[in-house]
Amino acid sequence: MSLAAWLCALGAIVLWAAFASMVGQAREVPPWLLTGISLCIGSLVSLPRVRAWRVPVRTWAFGAGCLFVYHVCLIGAFRLAPVAEANLINYLWPLLMVMLSGVIAQRSSRSAASAPPRLRAWLGCGIAFGGCALALQPSAVSADFTLTQFAGYAAAAIAALTWAIYSLGSRWLPPYSSWAVGGFCLGAGLLALAGHFVFEPRYVPTAANWVAMAAIGLGPLGYAFVLWDRAMRAGDAAKIGTVAYATPVLSMIGLALTLHDAHTNWPLIFTASALIVLGVLVGTLEPRRREQAS
């Protein structure tokens, strides 16, 4: 895989690692409003290449729909459930992406070399999901609003699956420019703003809110999308998915520094993060095959 693909993937990962901490700085803003404004700001990154936004309706609907569902679910999860635990569930998406890419390759390939996920992959899934269960266990036992938190965890899981599907989408759709992501962001942002006016009470953002939303829009919801799209086009989805598991660890470090919550068991959260990383390594890294003598 090329160096450019690695750099694009790492740039997106670093920006996304800061996403949860940034959302915490705008926690007063209603979720749909926060999503809508941030995505609309994110679209400005691609505005100089607005001609690249011209894509088939099916492509635009897929991109805008995935971004809309992902961010509404994720930001909603941060409001309904403890941020650290919801964040970990969301970062199951690299593992889901790797598993889905294997299934897609198996169905599309005509060769006998393609095979269903092996025992090693399922073992990795088990370890990663065990890490999530470990992170959720304290909250599930002691929480007063179990149904509310469960809804948050479910929203985070939907977000993870949505992002895995979106990441692989460029392989299913007609070719389009990475800058077309700006059109996806604008469409998703407008949908979220419409949802705000229908479902949420009116809220006037403060100056601090606008600064936080601008940072979210230009970083995790702006340049990160363009970098990720280019990485997925130029690189290997399975390898990028593996490297992406640095994101939850970096994100947890950021939350630990910015989220001052006395009820969060940070040693347990980091243990759960380590299990998730171990799970994806077990499930996706293949041992080197020894060359057989001819």
pLDDT digit string, tens, across residues 204-254: 999 999 999 999 999 998 888 888 878 877 777 767 766 776 777 777 777
Smallest CA-to-CA distance from 94 within 223, 219, 249 is with 249
Please indicate, yes or no, if residue 291 is contained in any of the structural domains: no
Residue type at 112 in one-letter notation: A
Please indicate, yes or no, if residue 147 is contained in any of the structural domains: yes
Evaluate whether 231 touches 8 at the Cβ level (below 8 Å): yes
SS3 285: coil
Please indicate, yes or no, if residue 131 is contained in any of the structural domains: yes
Please indicate, yes or no, if residue 293 is contained in any of the structural domains: no
Distance of CA 281 to the CA centre of its chain: 18
pLDDT digit string, tens, across residues 96-155: 877 777 666 655 554 434 444 566 667 777 787 777 667 666 554 444 557 888 899 899
Please indicate, yes or no, if residue 257 is contained in any of the structural domains: yes
Smallest CA-to-CA distance from 221 within 57, 36, 60 is with 36
**Among residues of the chain, what percentage have pLDDT more than 70?**
79
Angle (CA) 243-46-255 rounded to 5° is 45
Evaluate whether 78 touches 19 at the Cβ level (below 8 Å): no
Please indicate, yes or no, if residue 132 is contained in any of the structural domains: yes
SS3 176: coil
pLDDT digit string, tens, across residues 18-72: 888 888 888 889 989 999 999 999 999 988 889 989 999 999 999 999 999 999 9
Residues 6+ positions from 142 with CB-CB distance below 8 Å: none
- In angstroms, the Cα distances linking 199 to 31, 192, 194, 196 are 10, 10, 9, 5
Please indicate, yes or no, if residue 290 is contained in any of the structural domains: no
H-only helix segments in 109-145: 119-142
Please indicate, yes or no, if residue 87 is contained in any of the structural domains: yes
Q: What domain range includes position 216?
A: 3-108+115-284
pLDDT digit string, tens, across residues 188-203: 999 999 999 999 999 9
Q: Torsion angle of alpha carbons 147, 161, 251, 221, nearest 10°? A: -110
Smallest CA-to-CA distance from 208 within 216, 196, 200 is with 216
Q: Indicate if the alpha-carbon torsion angle 165, 239, 55, 187 is positive or negative.
A: positive
SS3 118: coil
- The number of distinct structural domains making up the chain is 1
| pTM for the whole structure | 0.77
pLDDT of residue 56: 92
Q: Cα separation of 89 and 93, whole Å?
A: 8
